[in-house]
Structure 1
């Protein structure tokens, strides 16, 4: 009879030397306090009581059910890095630097001229001219403006204010919703701002991430309601920004309002639709309903754009 976890004695009458069950060539005087098997220091992990071998640690991890957040995302013990928020900030900054280099101006990177006979605009930065939101140009097929305009900014202060707001609001929202859901809400909010400008903003040129950021504000209000906490602080911030949007010239009120409504609607679809449609404790069904809700909000937003495009094409004789 043999025991693979124990080596033979040295042949001089001494007791057999215990050896690590994972490394039979290593003699050890240590053992796992859970299963009792001998283990070398490399195979032991500190536990609340004694040390557990790596096999017992792995078994514990398989038995522990993951903690789920309010949106169904997995919650870890350590605060995850908000990589989506940082990536969005990086993309906005990168686009801004490109427009600055093209226009050769840090504060007037969005400067341009408008032909008073044809109404055509020429910008010092070609990228700015290609992406800035112009309803008439979208109606003529420049669909990239619906998304690209959300990464453009008129000058350094415009960029700084929006990036600071995204940094403050985005990190916590990403933590609660999870990266993929947060990115979806941000994208829908951005489209919501563009759709609102298309429908109600006239023919002015519009740019900035503020529509998407207002959507994140709306998302936070819905999250607080779902968590049964007072949304008063974020509602106060929203109200203050709405007043600023109305009173100060050059700020797109409709872009902000559209982003706010779209972001709140998208988050409500994520957090409340599974409950309303009877998902119960079925997590897979709840996740599926949440994503379907996001698609419905996105399609409705694009529907507003489509209706307005049809109207503009008729007015332009296209």
Structure 2
């Protein structure tokens, strides 16, 4: 037989006027009479009667004996009756106090939440990076702070599969194409070398740097190109390298790399050639991508044979063809190696350190250009 939901062993047996279901034997209409135990349960702390269930628990008969189900009385066989139930007996005086789950007081447990320290049973355990959390601390119980789930990232800070792939690379390519179209407006004849106003305002031109302090040209010149072959070759290289580096480094790091390499290449060209410098092209930044790619591949212990061959071929062309700004390529490669070292050996979680390093490099390059301008104006004064 089973115990009554509020089973008081001192109450009258079934059929009396105090039994639930109203007065009399069968109870009132719409209510079923719950059978009472044949013998009273032992008081708290007393041993159970011989042959009875331990701790006043249920007999083995269960629902088949005609009593209510476990769901009706509010507990399950594997957990035992809850505290305060008629079938629950507190531990005897002097017994060691065992921790119980804060959500299921009838369950003993030795596991605690790693955040709040409350004891939790297996049903309440939520796996965490270290140990387990309770439902409230993991965000599953409502009212607690939700567990922060970190986005997966590469070893260098990129987000695999986050958003649109190669978005920054596509934007850089689009800017180069838009600039090339603007260069083709009336006034530009690419074969004859004449310039329209747009090209004249944003190319790398030493006279404008030295006398007009137009240092924005150190960056804007990387978006201009001379002819169709020039823009197609550069944009193809930017597409191939940009997509791979953006997947590894992330968007903001790729933007910073492009800016640092473009400024680095154009600044070295200005420092070496002075007022005679007159060049355009994204190749300064692309050579920087070569350098950064090589450093990152070495950091990953990958095979760098192909990238070294590619760098060698491009340098052979650089120093063979007379119309190529070789110092711009050298400067871009050097800047790419420096930024690549910063990205490869400074942990990506230290974003502030990486950003400060890139800003410091760009600031030094602009400062060098300013000093060069001061020297040129003094020499020609």
TM-score by length of 1: 0.69
Per the alignment, residue 37 of structure 2 pairs with none
C-alpha deviation, 1:193, in angstroms: 0.9
Correspondence for 1:264 among 318, 332, 337: 337
1:66 aligns with 2:139: no
Distance (Å, rounded) in 1 between the aligned partners of 2:292 and 2:193: 33
Distance (Å, rounded) in 1 between the aligned partners of 2:356 and 2:344: 12
Distance (Å, rounded) in 2 between the aligned partners of 1:287 and 1:145: 28
Per the alignment, residue 103 of structure 1 pairs with 187
Correspondence for 1:134 among 193, 197, 205: 205
C-alpha deviation, 1:220, in angstroms: 0.5
C-alpha deviation, 1:287, in angstroms: 1.8
C-alpha deviation, 1:63, in angstroms: 6.5
1:302 aligns with 2:366: yes
C-alpha deviation, 1:303, in angstroms: 2.6
Kept after mapping to 2: 8 A contact 1:270/1:294: no
Distance (Å, rounded) in 2 between the aligned partners of 1:144 and 1:234: 31
Correspondence for 1:217 among 283, 290, 298: 290
Over aligned residues, Cα RMSD in angstroms?
2.4
Please give the secondary structure, in 1, of the residue aligned with 2:356.
helix
**How many residues are matched?**
238
Distance (Å, rounded) in 2 between the aligned partners of 1:262 and 1:129: 26
Kept after mapping to 2: 8 A contact 1:136/1:312: no
Higher helix share: 1
C-alpha deviation, 1:71, in angstroms: 1.8
Quickly say closer, same or farther: Cα 1:314–1:171, change in 2 above 3 A: same
Quickly say closer, same or farther: Cα 1:143–1:65, change in 2 above 3 A: closer
Alignment gaps of 5+ in structure 2: 1-122, 124-138, 141-145
1:245 aligns with 2:318: yes
C-alpha deviation, 1:231, in angstroms: 2.0
Please give the secondary structure, in 2, of the residue aligned with 1:143.
coil
Residues 10-32 of structure 1, C-alpha deviations (whole Å, 9 max, x = no match): xxxxxxxxxxxxxxxxxxxxxxx
Kept after mapping to 2: 8 A contact 1:270/1:293: no
Please give the secondary structure, in 2, of the residue aligned with 1:249.
coil
Kept after mapping to 2: 8 A contact 1:271/1:290: no
Distance (Å, rounded) in 1 between the aligned partners of 2:162 and 2:257: 24
Distance (Å, rounded) in 2 between the aligned partners of 1:104 and 1:149: 16
Per the alignment, residue 272 of structure 2 pairs with 200
Distance (Å, rounded) in 1 between the aligned partners of 2:375 and 2:308: 34
Runs of 4+ in 1 over 4 A off after TM superposition: 61-64, 77-80
Distance (Å, rounded) in 2 between the aligned partners of 1:199 and 1:76: 39
Correspondence for 1:293 among 353, 357, 364: 357
Quickly say closer, same or farther: Cα 1:65–1:137, change in 2 above 3 A: closer
Alignment gaps of 5+ in structure 1: 1-34, 36-54, 113-122, 276-282
C-alpha deviation, 1:174, in angstroms: 0.8
Name which structure has the greater RCO, CA cutoff 8 Å, separation 6+: 1
Residues 209-232 of structure 1, C-alpha deviations (whole Å, 9 max, x = no match): 100111111110111012111222
Q: Which moved more, 1:221-230 or 1:188-197?
A: 221-230
> Which structure 2 residues correspond to residues 44-123 of structure 1 after superposition, within 5 A?
64-73=149-158, 75-77=159-161, 80-103=164-187, 105=189, 107-108=190-191, 111-112=193-194, 123=195
Residues 266-307 of structure 1, C-alpha deviations (whole Å, 9 max, x = no match): 1211221x36xxxxxxx64x2222112212222222232122
| Larger of the two Rg values belongs to structure | 2
